[in-house]
C-alpha cells in the first residue's frame, strides 16, 4: 500500500496566514474604496454649494456707488449697482432701513420697499441712463419694478420716521443731519441674499448736490 506524505504543521500555518492576509487586504481595499467614494461625494456637494452661494451672492449683493443731497430739506439721491450674475430681483422685495441717533440718544428709523414712501413725499427708482423723474409731471413717472443683474439704478429717499414718514423734522434726512451734527445709516436688504450698509455723512451741509458718503 502506498503511503501518502502528510504536510507538516508549519506549511499549514503558512497557508492559513496567507489566507488571513488576503482577507485583510480585501477588507482594507473595501474600506479605502468606501472612503474615497465618500470624499468624492463630499467634494462634489461642496463644489455645488459653493457654486450656488457664489451665484446667489453675485446677484444678491449691491453696491452704493454714490449718494447726494436731493433737495435742501430731507430728500436724498443714491446710485446703486447690482451684481453681474444671477437672477433678477423684484423692487418690492428690496427693503431699505434708514436710521440715525440724535445726541440725546433718540433713535429714529423708517423702513419700506424701495420706491415706497409709506405716506411721505414721493420717492423714485429709475435705471441709470434713462429719464429721471420730474416732480412736476403730475405723477406720470413709473418706478422700475425689476432689478436686473449688472444694472445700475438711481433711487431717492425721504427723511422721516416709521410712525411719521412725512414728519416736519425730516429725521435722518439732510436737514436733520445738519442741525443735529450727526450721521445716518442706510441698510438695504435683498431677498435670499446679503445686506448692504452705507454710512451717510454730510460733506457740505445740506447744499443740493453735495455728497453724503
Are 84 and 120 found together in one domain?
yes
Domain that holds residue 44: 8-59
Q: Specify if 1 maps to a domain.
A: no
pTM for the model stands at 0.71
Q: Are 198 and 54 in contact (CB under 8 A)?
A: no
| 155 & 126 share domain | yes
Q: Which residue has the higher pLDDT, 93 or 194?
A: 93
Query: Are 40 and 114 members of one domain?
Result: no
Tell me how far apart the terminal alpha carbons of the chain are, to the nearest angstrom: 111
Cell of 67: 449718494
Q: Is the confidence at residue 72, as pLDDT, over 90?
A: no
51 and 97: one domain?
A: no
Q: Across 6-20, 38-52, 55-69, 188-202, which has the greatest mean pLDDT?
A: 188-202
Average pLDDT, the chain: 82
E-state strands within 31-70 = 62-69
- In CATH, what number is assigned to the domain containing residue 190? 2.60.40
pLDDT score of 28 = 82
Q: What are phi and psi of 15, to 5 degrees?
A: -65, -45
| Residue 73 located in a structural domain | yes
pLDDT value of residue 55: 54
What are the angstrom distances between the C-alpha of 176 and each of 57, 58, 101, 182? 34, 35, 11, 8
Most confident of 17-21, 25-29, 45-49: 25-29
Tens-place pLDDT, residues 136-151: 555 567 889 999 988 9
Residue 113 and residue 97: Cα distance in Å, rounded? 9
Counted domains in the chain = 2
Amino acid at each position: 500500500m502506498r503511503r501518502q506524505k502528510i504536510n507538516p504543521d508549519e506549511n499549514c500555518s503558512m497557508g492559513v496566514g496567507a489566507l488571513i492576509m488576503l482577507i485583510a487586504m480585501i477588507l482594507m481595499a473595501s474600506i479605502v474604496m468606501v472612503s474615497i467614494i465618500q470624499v468624492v461625494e463630499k467634494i462634489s456637494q461642496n463644489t455645488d454649494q459653493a457654486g450656488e452661494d457664489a451665484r446667489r451672492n453675485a446677484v444678491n449683493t449691491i453696491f452704493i456707488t454714490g449718494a447726494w443731497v436731493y433737495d435742501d430739506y430731507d430728500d436724498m439721491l443714491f446710485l446703486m449697482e447690482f451684481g453681474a450674475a444671477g437672477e433678477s430681483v423684484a423692487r418690492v422685495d428690496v427693503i431699505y432701513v434708514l436710521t440715525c441717533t440724535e445726541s440725546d440718544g433718540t433713535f429714529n428709523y423708517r423702513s419700506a420697499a424701495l420706491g415706497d414712501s409709506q405716506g411721505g413725499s414721493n420717492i423714485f427708482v429709475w435705471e441709470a441712463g434713462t429719464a429721471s423723474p420730474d416732480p412736476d409731471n403730475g405723477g406720470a413717472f413709473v418706478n422700475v419694478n425689476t432689478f436686473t443683474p449688472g444694472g445700475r439704478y438711481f433711487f431717492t429717499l425721504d427723511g422721516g420716521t416709521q410712525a411719521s414718514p412725512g414728519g416736519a423734522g425730516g429725521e435722518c434726512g439732510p436737514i436733520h443731519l445738519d442741525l443735529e451734527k450727526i450721521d445716518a445709516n442706510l441698510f438695504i436688504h435683498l431677498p435670499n441674499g446679503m445686506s448692504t450698509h452705507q454710512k451717510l455723512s454730510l460733506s457740505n451741509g445740506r447744499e443740493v448736490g453735495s455728497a453724503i458718503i
